[in-house]
A and B are shown apart, each in its own frame.
Chain A
Amino acid sequence: MNSLPVIQKMLVEEFGLTEDQVKPESQLDELGVDSLATVEFMFMLEDRFKLKMSGEPVPIKTVGDIAREVDAAMEKQGITLTDK
């Protein structure tokens, strides 16, 4: 999960969560991040990593799920973290 540290940092900065809250196994709904907030966050990630998420409905329930989804999209589109 290469993108995990950046995602954790963004969750803290954008949503005001604490570092302790954004562990890979943390459930998003328990953090108050509902489906709308998750979509909002995915838009932020697309802007941050200059990538395009699939747009297909994907079951994202945890912080780790987000990182896995971003990693997969980055690999598919040939984007690496060092590009940014």
Chain B
Amino acid sequence: MNKVVVTGIGAITPLGPDFSSLMTAVFNAHSGVRALDTSWIHQLHSPLAAPILFPVEDHFTKLRRLMLDRVAQLGLIAVKEAIQQSGLNTLADEGLHGGVFWGTGMGGAHTLEQAYMDSFSHPESRPRPTTIVMFMTNSTTGQIGIEHKIKGPSTTYSSACSSSAVAIGEAFEAIRSGKINYAIAGGSEALLTLGVMKAWESLQTLARPDATRPETSCRPFAKDRSGFILGEGAASLILESEEHAKQRGATILCEIVGYGNTTDASHITQPDAGGQARAMRLALEQAQMTYQDVDYINAHGTGTQVGDLSETRAIHEVFNDYAKQVPVSATKALHGHLMGATGAVEMAIAIGSLMNKTIPGTAHLFNPDPECDLDYVSEGARTLAKLDVVMSNSFGFGGNNAVLVAKRYSK
């Protein structure tokens, strides 16, 4: 089996246009949550979202944008940064031994919604000829392959909130087994549209706006938590076999050592602590580690009553007497819930924590919940004397649980 290393990270999130700005923001507890400034926002009970407010379209020519929904634009921006950092030249092997593993929950939501709106409001109108290629779920995956000339496997993963964690995990497995030498992995999501936001609102999982401090409305693990805030963005990792990275003299950022993937098989939205615990155990087993080896957990921590309690119980189940000692934080309080992209964003944050030897806190945890009794790092970012192994949890509607474990690289 090959060792799998990370050589590049890219991100575009509500907290910044790149990976370093994301890390700075989570360390300083800057919130990207705000009232969405659109003409239709009055149709929603809450105007809050975590949008990307810096230029996205400017990265592409008008001609290129013809084929790119916002979800693909965000994905391509994150991938470009990751590739630049890694120095990976995909032309060296004509892209034959590389793969693209991408996650998204909804694909081109903006394009699809526009086509529906046009069709219903103007029956004589016709959708743009590029509608299909912009909204299909594998649109971003295909566009990444085209942009970077990668000709090995390209697969799109859609398992709601765990989509991009699964994408990273499956890329890890493909390199580990020797199927490919390198991969672009990650995920993107752009679903801040009226129809999608209303649908989420109906599901009653979105956070109640705090009247005086709206940016603090998402409060993972707090007693007064009321749900999450929808966000948009993308993150990408460049994964390589250790041998491939060394041969080309790449700087290795960390090693991915474990991936657990399980299904609750119990309910379409209700999480199951047992399924989550099994995913954590599988990831540790593959990493050949025990729970005491884990120095930090980036929790799924959406801020829903049910979800945070379930994750807390799952961590207790896996970490036993060590559960209250391992620091756990949920960064969704700041960057929002990026759905299909969230697993990749949070894995990037976990790796960034490893690199900086500092972990972000769980923001807005003003009122502790006695039932959520772990160390959630509520005081803010914390520098750890030992930070060598990190775990990132992602749990999706549909019952899929994906857990990734990374460790500090040593030769």
Contact = CB atoms under 8 A, between A and B. Distances in A.
Interface of A: 14-17, 31-33, 36-37, 39-40, 43
Contact of B62 (A16, A36, A39, A43): A16
Contacts of A16: 61-63
Contact of B129 (A15, A31, A33, A39): A39
A40 B62 contact: no
Nearest to A37: B66
B130 interface: yes
B128 interface: yes
Interface of B: 61-64, 66-67, 126, 128-130, 133
The SS class assigned to the A binding surface is helix
Given A40-B128, A43-B128, A33 B133 contact: no
Contact of A43 (B61, B67, B129): B129
Nearest to B63: A15
A32 B67 CA distance: 12
Nearest to A17: B63
Contacts of A32: 61, 63-64
B51 to A, nearest CB: 25
A27 B48 CA distance: 48
B403 to A, nearest CB: 40
Nearest to A16: B62
A28 to B, nearest CB: 11
Given A31-B63, A33-B63, A40-B129, 14 more contacts: A15-B62, A15-B63, A16-B62, A16-B63, A32-B61, A36-B66, A36-B130, A36-B133, A37-B63, A37-B66, A37-B67, A40-B66, A40-B128, A43-B129
22 contacts: A14-B62, A15-B61, A15-B63, A15-B66, A16-B62, A16-B63, A17-B63, A31-B63, A32-B63, A33-B63, A36-B66, A36-B67, A36-B129, A36-B130, A37-B67, A37-B130, A39-B129, A40-B66, A40-B128, A40-B129, A40-B130, A43-B128
Nearest to B126: A43
B150 to A, nearest CB: 19
B122 to A, nearest CB: 12
A62 B128 CA distance: 22
A39 B66 CA distance: 11
A14, A17, A32, A36: which has the most chain B beta carbons within 10 Å?
Answer: A36
A59 B63 CA distance: 21
Nearest to A15: B63
B143 to A, nearest CB: 13
Contacts of A17: 63
B62, B64, B129: which has the most chain A beta carbons within 10 Å?
Answer: B129
A32 B61 CA distance: 11
Contacts of B66: 15, 36-37, 40
Closest 6 CB pairs of A and B: A16-B62, A39-B129, A15-B63, A16-B61, A40-B129, A32-B63
